[in-house]
Amino acid sequence: MLKKCIGDPSLILPTESIRIKDNLSYEEIPIQILDRQVHRLRTKDVALVKVLWRNQFVEEATWEAEEDMKKRYPYLFESADQGINFLLNAL
């Protein structure tokens, strides 16, 4: 059975501050690389990095291909000061 719900207007967040797109999606931004490893296949080695994403806990970090991350987010692989400055300017 459904119950009547009275909304609280003070809890409504403006979508501009979260940068939600028209299709109700948003882009996660990687914050830090936590670990590196090389996954050995039969004919090649694949370098992986464990990435901590914004708005997620360390337990939810994901393993991504290092090559792809370097192409999309080069600031993660630069020195720490330059990467943080780039990230702050992007926000």
| Domains along the chain with CATH numbers | 28-90 (2.40.50)
pLDDT digits (tens, 9 = 90+) for 16-70: 666 667 777 777 889 989 999 999 999 999 999 999 998 888 888 999 999 999 9
pLDDT higher than 50, residue 81: no
HEC string for 8-59: CHHHCCCCCCCCCCCCCCCCCCEEEEEEEEEEECCCCEEEEEEEEECCCCHH
> How many residues are given for the chain?
91
Does pLDDT of 2 surpass 80?
no
Of 70, 67, 73, nearest in space to 87 by CA:
73
Question: 14 pLDDT band (50/70/90 cuts)?
Answer: low
pTM over 0.85: no
